[in-house]
Structure 1
């Protein structure tokens, strides 16, 4: 796809505050939510936007790109990220953020955060690359470099050190075996990683540099919500008239948003119109998370019609049975809520690309052949492929539902998809009755 570099830079009147690149779709909508809550006009695109696309949003403050690098090898990531970062740099944004999952899902071979850091260091001029470790609003806490995570975002689940987390320690692609983010990321890059720890956060930001020596990457502890404003101030000071490249979960958007609110650059949105429930509702899930499994069980016991797809067959053959497509459409035509998922047979790691694309094909067919107006997609690794298969070009936040997974409006060249209400949720998001919120 042509980039915003083709022909000319973006219109300077747009004054882009922030551009972020998400490693998957659910994580990208998470970042979209927190910067939109801060009052920014933010749009999340499937690919780096063209100048023509940006003309549709003349008052845009923040550009997001929902990537798929979380499921890719380092070589594949580099091929995508280097030109993408150049395009985002050309936006003139003072801040460019590589958005990762709040649990830093990655390894040296899949979704490498270290490779993303290396690519960012190639494109952007900042000497220090900040890595924001926690996001309190999502139940993610970084303490002395170690990450702790609540079981289920938007729930009252227990908090575990990441390498002892019942779900993340057993992730089918990138199981968490190390909670110290310096060691975790250090397996993926040769850059020296330092830390601004919880005790140093109480100091004025101008004194934070006293904790640093020759590090190139700086992890920042984040334990409490009120600390984020100071983190945003520090990131703002690091700009030095240049684009600052950073890494982390949506704590980056929360930190910058809080700081810009304090300085009057943005006005926080405190009230949202509550969306009415949709009938019928379509849910498609490729998640293996026990959190999502509990939500599926809840839906089955609350009158959702269940359609189980054979994930292994889809991956092996690369197609979706016509009978499945028709089955889903018929239920929706009868005004039944429908849940499409892979069942208990999916016990091993399968192709996120093929499974995600299949879920997207099912969802698109349902929208084209029924009166469904709202779709929920569950599963971080598969979400980016599902969105692409649905023909979505961009999304904009409509309303918060559960922290990190807002309800959005889709933009598409397909008239039936354009305007569709969509919710993309990661496997760890939500309480058991999550699907009942829609």
Structure 2
């Protein structure tokens, strides 16, 4: 029985598909599970990505889930492990990146790993420890207004140090630019200095390939999906992996489609605006949901009425930051988010029962709620739609009709992403 080579733990559902997309591009047959599979489950794949919903969970809960995922991945025979978080390092001073990284290192009895959320293809770069989104610092990118994980400090060394009991260091760009061997030398120096977690600068894909090569002998790697660019080649070089040219092939799925958006990011706001210019849409009002109005029923009826004419609809709760602040002030941050997630999950379940087989979902928390509502246990990863966002299909029993999904991180995708995703699905 074949064993997986790389075991990955992602702190949200869209981040999991983002990572899986990178691995498929490297020729690794990749399966994403929704949560930790039952004990005794065996999955045939080169890489397995366990998608958790732990990004905004209490730190102790995030650690518990991550350790449970690690234990299951070890049972699959994985030799290297990957902790995936967002390319904008979404977290707070209490966690969860630092506490989870510490716990995974402890469980693996390892004393060092890197932390590199860089994803240059999507405009996320790190220089001298500072994270940039496009041409601006993280703290000026709109992420400072995130309702759950506002990022007001762009210096990741400082951010991570506030979260962890481990000493945090930096692998400076001057070293990264020289390639894998100097990076390894710097890693050894940092270990001697007592550093356990090191932010790694990266401004190009070439830097990510170099870092990936340098991490060949690390049992644990942490970062965004970008650093995964360089990992498949390590397995190829060791003759552990034969490149799979059809790793991204998916069968065609017919059926109705819907777009669901819960993210409040700038990118998703622009995508919603673009869709609404020419296509039908229905807005979920959190305040109306809180009042107990039958908004879910109205949204489902709206979608079904347009299905009769062959149209695809967008159902969204996406709003500008100023509107979100008003809602959060009245309902509270947690309740406002939960109302939207539960509503979109209920809508997704009812539309699936009405024959919808293609779902485009915007937002990590929203994607987690929707996938769980659809009772999807695992996903086969297909071709890339936009950087960081692949097409996927559910894997189930032979008598279950598969579902096609595009799970998009709120910050990802071009303005016309929704239409593009529907064409690919």
Tell me if 1:207 matches 2:195. Answer: no
CA RMSD of superposed structures (Å)? 2.7
Deviation at 1:431, TM superposition (A): 1.7
Q: Which residue in the other structure is 2:136 paired with?
A: 160
- Point out the structure with the larger helix share: 2
Mapped partners of 1:341, 1:52: distance in 2: 39
Q: Hey, what does 1:331 align to over in structure 2?
A: 306
Q: Pick one of 118, 130, 145 that aligns with 1:134.
A: 118
For residue 216 of structure 2, give the secondary structure of its aligned residue in structure 1. helix
CA distance in 1 between partners of 2:294 and 2:398 (Å):
22
Match of 2:280 in 1: 305
Counterpart residue number, 1:105: 90
How far does residue 343 in structure 1 lie from its aligned partner after superposition? 5.4
What is the count of residue pairs matched by the alignment? 405
Q: Which secondary structure does the structure 1 equivalent of 2:151 belong to?
A: coil
Match of 1:419 in 2: 402
The residue aligned with 1:289 is: 265
- Does the C-alpha gap of structure 1 residues 333 and 398 become closer, same or farther in structure 2, counting only changes over 3 Å? farther
| Structure 2 residues without counterparts, runs of 5 or longer | none
Match of 2:14 in 1: 26
Deviation at 1:353, TM superposition (A): 4.2
TM-score (norm 2): 0.87
Contact 2:29/2:244 (CA < 8 Å) preserved in 1?
Answer: no
Residue among 205, 208, 211 paired with 1:231: 211
SS of the residue corresponding to residue 216 of structure 1 reads: strand
Q: What are the Cα deviations for residues 168-189 of structure 1, in whole angstroms up to 9, with x where unaligned?
A: 1211111111111111111111
Alignment of 1:64-103 (within 5 A): 64-103=49-88
Q: State TM-score, norm by structure 1.
A: 0.85
The 2-side partners of 1:29 and 1:368 are apart by 24
Alpha-carbon spacing, 1:128–1:403, altered in 2? closer, same or farther (3 Å): same
Q: How does 1:24-423 map to 2 (within 5 A)?
A: 24-50=12-38, 53-54=41-42, 57-58=43-44, 60-109=45-94, 112-150=96-134, 159-165=135-141, 167-201=142-176, 202=178, 204=181, 205-209=183-187, 211-212=189-190, 213-238=193-218, 244-261=219-236, 265-267=241-243, 269=245, 280-302=256-278, 304-314=279-289, 321-342=296-317, 344=319, 346-347=324-325, 348=328, 349-351=333-335, 352-370=337-355, 372-412=356-396, 418-423=401-406
**Whole-Å Cα distance in 2 between the matches of residues 414 and 286 of structure 1?**
32
**How far is 1:91 from its partner?**
2.5
